[in-house]
């Protein structure tokens, strides 16, 4: 099946509903599950010809789709946090026009480790 696109097409026809239903159950969001499933099949098209077909292709697709869906959720959450941090009225609002404003944002950025935040805060002073 690894080098046979028709076999992957058959797998899609036979198992896509099962993969989608499982991802919907995991995420509770049809759109996210559908996008994650498509990304999983795209990954299969890219990886299987080189690495070979896994022992359980359906499980591989579900696991890959789940991971891709989690990645999408994380990207959306990061984008929301970034948008809320850059909105007017945030902590760095008083520093507008100040060359140190980007450092102030770094010093409180939640994705940085505490040690990195401390270094950024020290360099801000």
- Annotate 19-43 with DSSP letters as a single string: HHHHHHHHHS-HHHHHHHHHHHHHH
CA-based diameter of the chain, in Å? 62
pLDDT value for 29: 94
Long-range contacts of 57-63 (CB under 8 A, 24+ apart): 57/1, 57/11, 57/15, 58/11, 58/15, 58/18, 58/19, 61/15, 61/19, 61/37, 62/19, 62/22, 62/23
**Beta strand spans in 15-124 (E):** none
- Measured CA to CA in angstroms, residue 58 lies from 12, 77, 95, 103 at distances of 9, 28, 53, 47
Contacts of 61 (CB under 8 A, 6+ apart): 15, 19, 37, 40, 41, 44
pLDDT value for 8: 86
Q: What is the pLDDT of residues 72-120, one digit of tens each?
A: 999 999 988 888 887 765 554 444 454 555 555 555 556 666 776 666 6
Instruction: Domains for the chain: give ranges and CATH numbers.
Output: 5-87 (1.10.1740.10), 92-125 (no CATH)
What integer is the mean pLDDT of 49-77?
Answer: 95
Residue 20 has pLDDT above 60, yes or no: yes
pLDDT value for 94: 47
């Amino acid at each position: 099946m690894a080098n046979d696109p028709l076999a992957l097409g058959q797998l899609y026809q036979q198992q896509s509903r099962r993969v989608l239903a499982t991802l919907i159950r995991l995420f509770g969001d049809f759109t996210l599950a559908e996008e994650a499933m498509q990304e999983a099949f795209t990954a299969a098209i890219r990886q299987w010809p080189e690495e070979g077909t896994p022992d359980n292709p359906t499980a591989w697709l579900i696991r890959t789709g789940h991971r891709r869906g989690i990645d999408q959720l994380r990207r959306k959450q990061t984008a929301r946090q970034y948008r809320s941090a850059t909105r007017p009225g945030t902590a760095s609002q008083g520093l507008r026009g100040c060359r140190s404003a980007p450092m102030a944002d770094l010093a409180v950025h939640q994705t940085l480790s505490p040690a990195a935040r401390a270094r950024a805060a020290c360099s801000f002073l």
